[in-house]
């Protein structure tokens, strides 16, 4: 029983779900009102984790043949979770996420539904379209910021947009780099990733360039006085990490290096999220 629960939990990609929730909180701190109730915090966690976990589960279902090559240790290809269990569990998580969004507000529900449908559409066919699919995923990752701002203010401010730009660029870079590690499996489904169509070297250069582009715009919120000094101090740590990862993947666009950079990027993103929050509330 414990092994089954652990496998289902693994299916939801807990680090990704937690990052999504933190992004919602960051969206609140980046709003003008910066208001959220304890109940809204709980509902936001259910929405962020539930919808993310649902999409991750469906993604593993659709990619089960690819994962037998690219990631045989994942719950479905390893046999820890059946296809039926994965789809049922993912559907339940999706319903929980939507219901909690309904209980939050109508604007929040609209953002949640649009992001969820975009992510589901990606799983169905946008993934095969390479860069367009990468761009769709990046938009989905930015959605929690918008969700948090809408939860607090009811609208999206230009301030939030300025913060969303480096997030979008870094996620897009990560998705392109991820394609380097997935070349063999992607070939099975005809996924036209940058790594497959332009080569691993080009994908490494493009992914690294997007990381550096994200770093280059990260100081602007501080320079135009949208945040206080803790932001620039903390975000500098994330910037150093992104630059290091960019140099690493450009120098060595191998599958092993891409896997390492993909994992490290989540840490740099977490640090950047903390910077957003601390710079807004300090």
**Does residue 145 share a domain with residue 13?**
yes
What pLDDT shows up at residue 148? 95
| Tokens (6 digits) for 173 | 């870079």
* Greater pLDDT, 27 or 186: 27
Among 128, 156, 184, give the residue marking a domain's end.
156
**Does residue 178 share a domain with residue 98?**
no
**Does residue 105 share a domain with residue 197?**
no
* Helix segments in the chain, DSSP class H: 2-11, 14-29, 38-62, 64-70, 75-78, 83-104, 106-124, 131-153, 158-181, 183-189, 194-197, 200-217, 220-223, 229-251, 255-281
pLDDT, mean over the chain: 89
User: Domain with 201 in it: what CATH number?
Assistant: 1.20.120.1780
Q: pLDDT-derived band of residue 190, with 50, 70 and 90 as boundaries?
A: confident
Query: Given phi > 0 = left and psi -120 to 50 = alpha, else beta, which region is 81?
Result: beta
**Does residue 136 share a domain with residue 17?**
yes
**Does residue 137 share a domain with residue 39?**
yes
What pLDDT shows up at residue 104? 96
**Does residue 239 share a domain with residue 188?**
yes
What pLDDT shows up at residue 81? 84
pTM of the model: 0.81
**Does residue 169 share a domain with residue 149?**
no
Q: Is the pLDDT of residue 281 over 80?
A: no
**Does residue 204 share a domain with residue 129?**
no
Residue-number span of the structural domain to which 216 is assigned:
157-282
What pLDDT shows up at residue 175? 93
Q: pLDDT-derived band of residue 189, with 50, 70 and 90 as boundaries?
A: confident
Among 127, 156, 185, give the residue marking a domain's end.
156
Q: Which distant-in-sequence residues (6+ apart) come within 8 Å of 68 by Cβ?
A: 77, 185
**Does residue 111 share a domain with residue 74?**
yes
CA nearest 215: which of 199, 187, 194, 237?
Answer: 237
CA nearest 179: which of 220, 154, 207, 139?
Answer: 207
When divided into structural domains, the chain yields a total of 2
**Does residue 28 share a domain with residue 103?**
yes
User: Domain with 50 in it: what CATH number?
Assistant: 1.10.357.140
Calculate the alpha carbon distances from 16 to 27, 218, 247, 254, 263 in Å.
16, 22, 24, 24, 11
- State pLDDT tens for residues 42-58: 999 999 999 999 999 99
> Can you tell me which residue has the tokens 């169509």?
197
| Tokens (6 digits) for 89 | 């569990």
What pLDDT shows up at residue 268? 93
* Greater pLDDT, 79 or 100: 100
- State pLDDT tens for residues 95-152: 999 999 999 999 999 999 999 999 989 888 888 888 898 999 899 989 999 999 999 9
**Does residue 123 share a domain with residue 75?**
yes
What pLDDT shows up at residue 280? 79
How many alpha carbons lie under 13 Å from residue 117 in its C-beta half-sphere?
6
Among 156, 186, 212, give the residue marking a domain's end.
156
- State pLDDT tens for residues 196-234: 889 999 999 999 999 999 999 999 888 888 888 999 999
What pLDDT shows up at residue 282? 65
What is the spatial distance between Cα 133 and Cα 32, in angstroms, rounded to a whole number? 32
**Does residue 112 share a domain with residue 142?**
yes
| Tokens (6 digits) for 259 | 């896997």
């Amino acid at each position: 029983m414990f092994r089954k629960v652990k496998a289902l939990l693994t299916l939801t990609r807990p680090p990704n779900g937690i990052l999504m929730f933190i992004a919602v909180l960051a969206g609140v701190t980046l709003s003008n009102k910066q208001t959220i109730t304890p109940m809204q915090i709980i509902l936001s966690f259910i929405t962020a984790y539930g919808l993310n976990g649902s999409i991750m589960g469906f993604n593993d279902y659709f990619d089960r043949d690819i994962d037998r090559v690219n990631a045989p240790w994942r719950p479905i290809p390893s046999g820890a979770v059946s296809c039926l269990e994965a789809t049922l569990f993912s559907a339940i998580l999706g319903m929980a996420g939507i219901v909690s969004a309904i209980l939050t507000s109508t604007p929040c529900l609209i953002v949640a539904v649009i992001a969820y449908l975009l992510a589901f559409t990606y799983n169905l066919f946008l993934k095969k379209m390479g860069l367009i699919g990468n761009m769709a995923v990046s938009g989905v990752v930015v959605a929690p910021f918008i969700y948090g701002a809408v939860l607090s203010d009811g609208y999206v401010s230009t301030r939030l947009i300025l913060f969303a730009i480096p997030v979008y660029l870094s996620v897009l870079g990560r998705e392109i780099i991820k394609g380097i590690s997935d070349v063999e499996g992607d070939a099975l489904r005809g996924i036209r990733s940058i790594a497959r169509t332009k080569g691993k070297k080009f994908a490494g250069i493009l992914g690294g360039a997007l990381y550096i582009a994200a770093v280059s715009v990260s100081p602007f919120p501080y320079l135009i006085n949208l945040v206080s000094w803790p932001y620039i101090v903390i975000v500098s740590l994330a910037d150093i990490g992104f630059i290091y990862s960019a140099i690493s993947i450009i120098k060595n666009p191998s599958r092993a290096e891409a896997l390492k950079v993909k994992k490290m990027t989540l840490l740099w993103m977490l640090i950047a999220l903390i910077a957003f929050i601390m710079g807004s509330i300090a």
